[in-house]
Amino acid sequence: MLRDRMKRATLYLTRTRWHGLPLGADNAMVQGNRSGADGLDLEGLDVWLATLSRRQSIRVLLSAASVPLACTPWTVSIASATALRRQAAQLWEAQLGSGHGHEIRLHWPRHGMPLVSVAWPPGVRMRVASQLQGRSISVMTSSVFAAVATDPPPPSGRILLLAGEDDGYCALHLQDGEPVGIERLPLQGSGLDAIPVWMRRKRLDYPDPAAIRWIAATDAAARSMCEVLT
């Protein structure tokens, strides 16, 4: 998994809101709405930027509900990084259509592990960067992977990590610390997608209570994703 513990400014985007996370105890989180035809006008972002150095690079994290996520099994034909990239490109073309233009970020697996990847629409990085008043984007990825990097799971065994964000739920299946599957659920799901029903099914797959862990939740008594990422 990605291991990056450097303290950097973090801009966290959900479907309808942006969150400028504080760099230290003396700073407060700044939030605002996303608007515009593409939802990428970050209203009031200048208030947060005023708390940062002009040379501060910014980590942009996208909520699991706001970007496509995919997982494909390992195949014996994959023998190189080029082959991995090709497989991911084919997967996203099948899912999004040819000429989709999405940027793709791969989680590089160990040999034999499934390939997990994240994609975001064309122009997202450029639109966000254009509002940062000259500051650079150091990395752009999913909030769930960033959260796992701040609090690594046990290095062995099967683990189900759950994250509740203000626009949806995400479940990351791990085997020996590596992602092998990913699922997303709406906040107000019904039927099999209702969280209580879904959780009952997952407890059959993960009978050990210690194998299921929430890394972030919307419950007031739990740590929010913003708190985890700060």
Domain ranges of the chain: 9-66+121-229, 69-120
Q: What global pTM score does this model have? A: 0.87
**pLDDT for 2:** 38
**pLDDT for 211:** 93
> 131-153: per-residue pLDDT in tens?
999 999 999 999 998 988 877 77
**pLDDT for 220:** 75
164, exposed or middle or buried, with CB in 10 Å at 0-12, 13-18, 19+? buried
**pLDDT for 73:** 78
**pLDDT for 60:** 96
Q: How many CB atoms lie within 10 A of CB 50?
A: 9
One-letter amino acid at 49 equals L
The ranges of the chain with pLDDT < 50 are 1-6
Q: What pairing do the DSSP bridges indicate for beta strands 17-21 and 212-216?
A: unpaired
What is the C-alpha to C-alpha distance for residues 38 and 6, in angstroms, rounded to an integer? 31
**pLDDT for 32:** 97
What is the C-alpha to C-alpha distance for residues 93 and 171, in angstroms, rounded to an integer? 24
Which element (helix H / strand E) includes 140?
A: strand 137-142
